[in-house]
Structure 1
């Protein structure tokens, strides 16, 4: 179980599928990453994801259905990161991507190829979730129910708050 602290960061990630493959970015550390990043203060989740993906890819994205919310602890820290992953589509072609200086490479990988890549396990899980079944009966060509996505995220945060309050009460 992840220890809950008072410090949380929210990161949004885009799982972008093209022709049965997923778009991944390589960081300077060599790890593979999904497009996306940290939310700014007071920034809406979908807006932050769109902004981050556009900065990293040079293209706009269309945010689709929510895939998953997960929580991970930052190594050597008392802070936690809440990762919110969505199925998204590119507004242009893969060949139109203009990579930011934040990453060194962009490639398409099949669901089986990602198993051998150096990447966060929660990102790998999000990709496998997309390939293994349609999300809420939708695929990358359809628009999600915004209310369903909002309910799922809200439910996740309510559970997280409840865990944090319980943890805090036990420590006082």
Structure 2
């Protein structure tokens, strides 16, 4: 019974579109937070196109949306995001470590976003509209720095 559930779950996930996001952390422990042009909270990253390499897509999306080049990422969390009109999507969130302090990083936003800023945990969690999956990933990343 258990293995049948695992198999059916795997098959269902294989058919879902994938969005890959990253919590970009500066050397001084701040995360890049963004807002879409519509005002919705966001992290850098986006849709993985059919046939596209997951990590290549993530690096491409981050560069397009923030102007930041990320080299190495590590998996943090995942969930299935349900949307009434767009349908379900598998969300994958990674941690990306940058070598510079937040004040030394230039963020170049694409037209898709209207705001992007590095914030520590206090500034981050003052924002009350962070979706739970993103909030969980941010908590994990801040905990790695001993910051909560």
Fold-level match, TM-score > 0.5? yes
1:33-48 equivalences under 5 Å are: 33-48=42-57
Root-mean-square deviation (CA, aligned residues, Å) is: 2.3
Aligned to 1:142: none
Q: How many residues align?
A: 130
Checking the alignment, whether the CA contact within 8 Å between 1:25 and 1:33 is kept in structure 2 is: yes
Q: Is 1:101 the counterpart of 2:111 in the alignment?
A: yes
Could you tell me which of 14, 22, 28 is aligned with 2:22? 14
Checking the alignment, whether the CA contact within 8 Å between 1:9 and 1:38 is kept in structure 2 is: yes
Could you tell me which of 70, 79, 82 is aligned with 1:73? 82
Residue segments in structure 2 that go unaligned for 5+ positions in a row: 1-11
Checking the alignment, whether the CA contact within 8 Å between 1:11 and 1:82 is kept in structure 2 is: yes
1:59 shift after superposition: 2.4
Aligned to 1:116: 126
1:7 shift after superposition: 5.8
d(CA) in 1 for partners of 2:88, 2:116: 27
1:10 shift after superposition: 0.3
Could you tell me which of 50, 57, 61 is aligned with 2:59? 50
Residue segments in structure 1 that go unaligned for 5+ positions in a row: 135-172
The secondary structure found in structure 1 opposite 2:64 is: helix
The secondary structure found in structure 2 opposite 1:71 is: strand
The alignment's TM-score, normalised by the length of structure 1, stands at 0.66
Q: Deviations over 1:62-105 (max 9, x none)?
A: 2321101211211345x211111111134777542211111111
d(CA) in 1 for partners of 2:38, 2:121: 22
Checking the alignment, whether the CA contact within 8 Å between 1:28 and 1:102 is kept in structure 2 is: yes
d(CA) in 1 for partners of 2:84, 2:126: 22
